[in-house]
Structure formats: C-alpha cells, structure tokens
Structure 1
Amino acid sequence: MKGYFSVLLFTLHILLCVKDSEAQWYLRCRLCSRANSLEDCTTFTECSEQETCYTDLVVTQDQRLVYDAGCRSKKVCGHENKRALTGEMVACSRCCTRGDYCNDGLCGLKKNTNIRMCMSCDGHEGRPAAKPYPEDCQRFRVCDYNEACFARTTSVAGNSAVEHYTSCLDLRTCQSLVNGIKDAYHQGDALLGKRNTNICAICCNDELCNEYSCAAIKRRIVNLIENDAFNMTTLQEI
C-alpha cells in the first residue's frame, strides 16, 4: 500500500510539472501598428491561451496600405475580412497558431530577403538595455549587410546575476568569435556562458537567431558544425 501511494504521489508530481511547463509557454507574435513592411515591426508580444497571432492589411482613408499585427482572440479570428474601421477598410485579415512569429508573411507582410533582423537590447538609439534573461528582450533591429546577430552574457558586478546583451556586430569580428568554437566547446572552455561565468560572446546570422542565451546559441552552432550544416563564412545554417 505504501508503494502504491508513493507511485501515485510521483505521478501527480509529474502531471503538475507538465501542467506548469505548459502554462509557462506563450505564443510570440510580431507586433505592428500602421507598418509599411515587416522591418517596421521592431518588437513582439506574447499571447494568452485564448489568443492567436494575426495580421491585418488595412486601407487607410488616404488609400495607403498599412499593416497591423499582434495577438487577437481566437473567437474573433476568421470574422474580420468585412470589418470596417472609421474611414478605413480591412483588405485582408489572417490568423495563425503554428509557432512563434507565424504572422510573418500573412496578408503579404513579408521582409526584404536582403536584410536580417536580430534581437537588440543594447541601450542604444532608444532601444532597451541588456536584460536579466534572454526572453526579456522584446526589441528587433535590422542589421547592416556586413553585420551579424550578436549575443553576450556578462556577470553583474557585486552579485551573482548576469545580463544578456544583444545587438548587431561586424561580420568579420563575428567570424573570429565563431572560429574554434567546436574545440573550445568540447574542452569545456570558460567562455561557454554558464550563468556563473564572467563572459560569453557569440554570433550567428539567421533571422532572430540571437533570441536565446549565449550558451544555447553556442550549443546550436556546435551541433550544426558537427552535422556539416553550418557555413563558417556567412554564419548561417545550411
């Protein structure tokens, strides 16, 4: 009987952990207001369980085409195409739930393929400063053609906390950071970015690839390198 209750308690504990884990996941959506293109959507929002990502293509009073995007109630989705705003018309309205930023491309909200957007909490040009956790950064930035996404983790002086800094960085500097990463990773190099280390710095060059912790980005790159799926010149997944 004692063994039965032990198993029962263990099972309940697992179910509660799964429930808590599920409750902590939120769908991320591009957030836009009167945007002309995806590059104008420089932040995101997190939806509740009752919401989904959406994108609206709006015809303004002066006949301009602009985009609104974010989170919307699931009950409302699918009923917006004939919705009329004061002096405006919604020409297209779409919703999605298939994953983070799934409202990219809806109603034609597409990005220029020649540019790359990266997370950017660097404290410059009105952007927020470095954050305690990677997921606290909700600002995007368009990088120059000769830049890549950059992530850095540093210890906060005087305590055990860390800060996660993200931005764009010169591609040549980024290539130097990535070179030798595989050997350093397997040797347990101090730069791998555990929360108690002094520093971790890494680059990548896929869309929003620096939205994770520095250590997580390094693990991803090592895995891609080992599977011949990473271009060391462009710093992109093949």
Structure 2
Amino acid sequence: MKTQIAFFVSIFLFDFISAGPICIQCLDVADITECITRTVQCADNEQCYLEKSTNEDLSISYNAGCRSKRVCEIMALLSTGRKRLVNCNSCCGDAPDQYGPCNAKLCGLHPIALQDTCVVCDGIHSDVASCTTAATCPPNEVCYTGIRIVGTLIRYVFGCYEERVCHALVVNNNKDSSIKPSHTRAIHGDQGTPICDACCKGDKCNAADCFQLKQNMTLDQFNSGDVSPTTY
C-alpha cells in the first residue's frame, strides 16, 4: 500500500515539476490585448500558440492558448481553415518576459510592456488569498488593501485607491493613520471598522499582509497631487 502511495505521489510531483510554459489564452478576440493578462499553464508536452485569422466579414480575430508539440510541428508545415483564412499559426515555448507570455509576440505582434495589475474584489474577504481577480488601476490610482473588524471577525478588502490619498496616508501620523473614505467608499461592499489601510506599487503587490505593506510605505513611492494631505 505504501509503495502504491509513493508511486502516485511521485507521478504527481513529476507532473508538477515538468509543467509546460505559461501562455496567454483567448478565443476569437478582435484585439490580442484583450487577453494579454489571461494566462494558462500548459502541460509539458504542449507549447504556446497564436492563430491570426481573417473572417468572412474581413475582420481579424485571434485564438491563443496551449497546443501539443506534435500539432505545432504539423502546423508549421500545413495551414488549414474553414470559413476563414488563417493568416498565421505559430507556436513557441519560451518563458514570459516583460511583454507577457511568448505567444503574445507571435505572428508579427509587438505588444507594449505589461502594466502592473492589482488584486481587485468587491466586498470583504476572509483572508488575504481569497481574492484572486486582477485588474489594471486607473492612471491616478495604485494598489490598495485594508483590514476590517466586522462584528467579531477579521475581514480584508482589496482594490485601487487614489495615489494622492496614499501619499497623505504616509504623511498623516506616518504609520498610525487610516484612510477615511469620502461620501462613497473606495471598495464596493466595504464595511466594518478599519484597523489597517495600505497602498503599494507593483504587480499584485496588495495580495500581501496589510500591516507589512504599511510599514514599507514611503513618501517617495506616491505622488501627492495638488490636495493637502491634512484633508484626509
């Protein structure tokens, strides 16, 4: 019995360790930037692919994701399509870089460098790992997280907040201040008594401990805007 368990564990670990490349994934999108942040972990016997097609209405569409290495080899020699013309069908297996997974750069595409994203979710959450949705904040906002006391429970909020307010948070009482919302709360569904508010810059940086992020906040990280910090 122990031998069988060890065998299955070893198979699982092998599959995990031998995972394939990370690729962008989308289906029939008009602009590849629509799926630049949608990624998938391919299997070890797969590669990233990108397909660019001209449809019957002469519009361009893209498909992207994982494809077996064998199919990629065949598609390098053949190109077929039905009800549309396949302009390009390419595969790759390189690691992601600042422009995203390698299939974001196939078929002559030249994407701009990826923008940092923040963990963004409505409402309150039970732990730091419970919010997994990522989004790009508006230009004047940065990543934000907070801790709330709701009844006797500790809850967490995640989203974007105005950068000037984050600057003010550092100025006002330095590490002991909290963000006081205006007539509308920054996170839809936010509730409870705030015990920590923190801002940060970096990809998904707010998926971390609020108190640690707050300790790391410095004035030079955030622009102050043209509003006095004492307003908050």
Distance 1:212 1:75, change over 3 A: farther
The equivalent residue for 2:28 is: 34
The equivalent residue for 1:110 is: 111
- Pairs within 5 Å for 1:82-161: 82-88=78-84, 89-99=86-96, 101-103=100-102, 105-107=104-106, 108=109, 110-111=111-112, 116=115, 118-123=117-122, 132=127, 134=129, 137=132, 139-152=133-146
Question: 1:142-191 CA distances to partner (integer Å, 9 max, x unpaired)?
Answer: 4322222334465776557x65x4433222123345679xx95xxxx8x9
Tell me whether 1:57 sits opposite 2:52 in the alignment: yes
Contact 1:94–1:106 under 8 Å retained in 2: no
The equivalent residue for 2:221 is: 232
Tell me whether 1:76 sits opposite 2:75 in the alignment: no
Percent identity of paired positions between Structure 1 and Structure 2: 18
Calculate the aligned-residue CA RMSD, in Å: 4.9
CA-CA distance at 1:63 after TM superposition = 2.2
The equivalent residue for 1:167 is: 159
Contact 1:149–1:210 under 8 Å retained in 2: yes
CA-CA distance at 1:98 after TM superposition = 0.8
Given the two structures, how large is their TM-score scaled by the length of structure 1? 0.53
CA-CA distance at 1:41 after TM superposition = 1.8
1:55 maps to a residue whose letter is L
Distance 1:168 1:69, change over 3 A: farther
The equivalent residue for 1:3 is: none
CA distance in 1, matches of 2:25, 2:122: 20
Distance 1:31 1:48, change over 3 A: closer
Question: 1:30-52 CA distances to partner (integer Å, 9 max, x unpaired)?
Answer: 33222333441275243243334
The equivalent residue for 2:192 is: none
CA distance in 2, matches of 1:44, 1:231: 32
CA distance in 1, matches of 2:205, 2:20: 15
The equivalent residue for 2:208 is: 214
Question: 1:34-90 CA distances to partner (integer Å, 9 max, x unpaired)?
Answer: 233344127524324333433332222222222222333343334435432322214
Gaps of 5+ in 1: 1-11, 192-197
CA-CA distance at 1:122 after TM superposition = 1.8
1:71 maps to a residue whose letter is C
CA distance in 1, matches of 2:126, 2:71: 34
Question: 1:183-205 CA distances to partner (integer Å, 9 max, x unpaired)?
Answer: 95xxxx8x9xxxxxx6453221x
| Equivalent residue pairs, number | 190
Distance 1:92 1:20, change over 3 A: closer
Distance 1:154 1:22, change over 3 A: farther
CA distance in 1, matches of 2:52, 2:135: 22
Contact 1:118–1:140 under 8 Å retained in 2: yes
Contact 1:47–1:53 under 8 Å retained in 2: no
SS at match of 1:29: strand
